[in-house]
Structure 1
Amino acid sequence: MTASSARAQGRPSATDHAAIERAAFALFAEQGFDETTMEDIARAVGVGRRTLFRYFPSKNDIPWGQFDESLEYFRRQLAAVPADVPLADAVHDGVVAFNRFDDAALDQHRFRMRLILTTPALQAHSAIKYEAWRRVIAEFVAQRLSLEPDGQLPRLVGHVSLALSVAAYEQWLDEPASSLTDLLDQGLSLLRTYAGSERLRP
């Protein structure tokens, strides 16, 4: 879920996804998510409202950053896993890697996830993003097991992986000194211990 992007030629150099996120997050922290408008964010960035909408279709999309691009990277990373790697290991490692961030990005990511997980106005929009994330895992599982992505097992692995991730994020937000990737790793390992990872082997 990175915020980097190539700047479009002809647009102000200070205007990109990352700059918009920083300005929006500052406003969200100062005056609240619900009270902040797209006009407020456009003024803070120094662009017109139309320009802002070229980067983010709605205010609800801003906390998610460049999520669609991150999902494409996630899909490519899973597809590149060698066939001899057990499916349980591939999903486990893929989920942990997807949620690994540089130390310098952790504070902003923590703010991002607190917004996503605790802001009522974002919940319906978040459900759409969650479904897209689960779908990446379900498609990977289905491909490895020669199943349909909407089949019970691929769908279940997607839902369980998301539930474990959300639980890890909630704990990470409650315990600032904890390691997000460690919490994810522990949660996924616990599931495999009690559910039996051999059931997810091709």
Structure 2
Amino acid sequence: MFAQQGFERTTVDDIAAAAGIGRRTFFRYFASKNDLVWGDFQAHLAWLEQLLAAAAPSLPMMDALRAAIVEFNRYDPADVPWHRQRMELILNTPTLQADATLRYAAWRRIVTAFAARRTGLPPSDMLPRLIGHAALGAALSAYATWLAGPGFGSVRSAGHGGTPARSGLRHVGRPGRRRIALSADPGGLRAL
């Protein structure tokens, strides 16, 4: 319905009627129609935490992060068309973009906490925060590229968006590299 009518023009009453339930029943499961698009995002975030916690300590931080993000974004091939519509809505609907800010902040906190553990810095330090923001930016950029054209054939391909951030941040977390300066280059962010 969102794809056919548009997110804003589709009401909770429309959704409830199509599902054969009452409005009150809808609100027993979802706080808003925004939540319907996101699904059980809290469970997905818990899974991301588990993936990062399970990463081998010997695996370089950015490689571990990339692997977890790719796995986090893996979908059954049968679900990919639905997921494509869902991501189109999330990335292109102003109401959902505003709602996404809170969800992305929760995602970044998980990545920032992982980076803090790996670097030995507090999560409030600039470096773990930078890694959280850069990883989210890379993931969103990969999704936007995937949605824009046929060059990315699967959701798994979208996970490769972590590569530029990984190459640009490959030196972070090493002893003696606490101070960093950033520059943009064709390979992504560069830690100097």
Fold match, TM over 0.5? Answer: yes
| Structure 2 residue aligned with 1:199 | 172
Q: Does 1:136 align with 2:110?
A: yes
Which string of whole-angstrom CA distances, capped at 9 and with x for unpartnered residues, describes residues 48-69 of structure 1? 2222112211111111111111
1:53-72 map, 5 Å: 53-72=27-46
Q: How many matched pairs?
A: 174
* Rounded Cα–Cα distance in structure 2 between residues aligned with 1:163 and 1:78: 18
Cα distance, 1:184 vs structure 2 = 2.7
Whether the 8 Å contact between 1:142 and 1:149 is mirrored in structure 2 is: yes
- The structure where strand makes up a greater share of residues is 2
The RMSD of aligned alpha carbons is 1.6
| Structure 1 residue aligned with 2:180 | none
* Rounded Cα–Cα distance in structure 2 between residues aligned with 1:151 and 1:56: 36
Identity of aligned residues (%): 45
1:184 alignment partner, one of 156, 159, 167: 159
Whether the 8 Å contact between 1:38 and 1:49 is mirrored in structure 2 is: yes
Which consecutive residues of structure 2, in runs of 5 or more, have no partner in the other structure? Answer: 176-192
Q: Does 1:94 align with 2:68?
A: yes
Q: Does 1:146 align with 2:112?
A: no
Which consecutive residues of structure 1, in runs of 5 or more, have no partner in the other structure? Answer: 1-26
Cα distance, 1:154 vs structure 2 = 1.1
Cα distance, 1:177 vs structure 2 = 5.1
> Which letter does structure 2 place at the counterpart of 1:181?
R
Whether the 8 Å contact between 2:62 and 2:169 is mirrored in structure 1 is: no
1:37 alignment partner, one of 11, 17, 32: 11
Whether the 8 Å contact between 1:164 and 1:188 is mirrored in structure 2 is: yes
> Which letter does structure 2 place at the counterpart of 1:198?
H
Whether the 8 Å contact between 1:138 and 1:158 is mirrored in structure 2 is: yes
> Which letter does structure 1 place at the counterpart of 2:156?
T
Whether the 8 Å contact between 2:138 and 2:164 is mirrored in structure 1 is: no
Q: Does 1:173 align with 2:147?
A: yes
- The structure where helix makes up a greater share of residues is 1
Cα distance, 1:146 vs structure 2 = 2.4
1:124 alignment partner, one of 72, 89, 98: 98
Give the ranges of 4+ consecutive aligned residues of structure 1 lying more than 4 Å apart after TM superposition. Answer: none
Whether the 8 Å contact between 1:134 and 1:162 is mirrored in structure 2 is: yes
